[in-house]
Amino acid sequence: MPRNPPAASSTTTILLFAAFLVALFPGFFHFLWTLPFAFVSRFHPTPPVVVSSDPGLSSLPTNMSTAWFQKQFSLPPRSRGSYLITDHVVKELPEIRSYRVGLLNLFVQHTSCALSLNENWDDDVRADMSDALDRIAPEAGPKGEALYRHDAEGPDDMPAHVKSALIGASVTIPIKDGKLATGTWQGIWYLEFRASKHQRRVMATIQGEKA
């Protein structure tokens, strides 16, 4: 009967033993495999890239660290309607002034109201918005018939949830040179969808580079 050559048998044994070691110590072999690439990246680092379309921000130093700030504040109690709260937000968050560039996120912690960015000049816009949302999600049908299963908290509750889902619970606004970088006619809106007055909490989060 023919036999396998000794060299082939030795090679098979070595390969099986190597496979066993890889299975037993995968982290060690991964380290050995990536070690040459670590040396290459060390001596040829990738330069940092700053992308900006604003000439005033294009010179930001790349070694600046990102600063975070978070705070909860309350809105004045309101009944159904749309309200401009830009000044209230700025008053509650004087920390905005310490950021050269960044983002402000406002998140209302409720399910029957909303936040939005919209017209800040004509009060009629806010009244029209509330009326339009009432037409989209009315409390009852044309003949007064019930439209929703969920009515445990009153007929205005489920329509409020629908409107909140349509508008959204948060807005994000850029910060530039210590001020909110909104457009000329943009303002922060608080939209209340319940008929009775409610006090709402807002969580504000700022991320950016301080001046």
Share of the chain above pLDDT 90, in %: 69
Between residues 161 and 60, the one the model is more confident about: 161
Structure confidence by residue, pLDDT tens digits, 10-67: 777 776 666 666 666 666 666 666 666 666 555 555 544 444 445 554 445 555 689 9
Beta strand pairing call for 186-192 and 179-180: unpaired
Domains of the chain: which residue ranges? 6-43, 67-210
Q: Whole-model pTM?
A: 0.71
Between residues 27 and 78, which one has the greater pLDDT? 78
CB 162 within 8 A of CB 80: no
What pLDDT, in 10s, does the model give residues 134-158?
999 999 999 999 999 999 999 999 9
Does residue 7 register a pLDDT over 90?
no
Secondary structure (H, E, C), 81-113: EEEECHHHHHHHCHHHHHEEEEEEEEEECCCCE
Q: What angle do CA 19, 20, 25 make, to 5 degrees?
A: 100
Residue 210, beta-bridge partner list:
99
DSSP class of residue 78?
A: B
What amino acid occupies position 50? V
At 89 the three-state DSSP class reads helix
Question: What confidence score (pLDDT) does residue 52 get?
Answer: 46
- 76 DSSP assignment: P
Q: What is the pLDDT of residue 39?
A: 60
pLDDT of residue 54: 52
Which residue blocks in the chain are alpha helix, DSSP H?
6-24, 26-43, 86-92, 123-136, 157-167
CB atoms within 10 A of CB 113: 23
* Annotation: CATH topology of 67-210: Jelly Rolls (2.60.120)
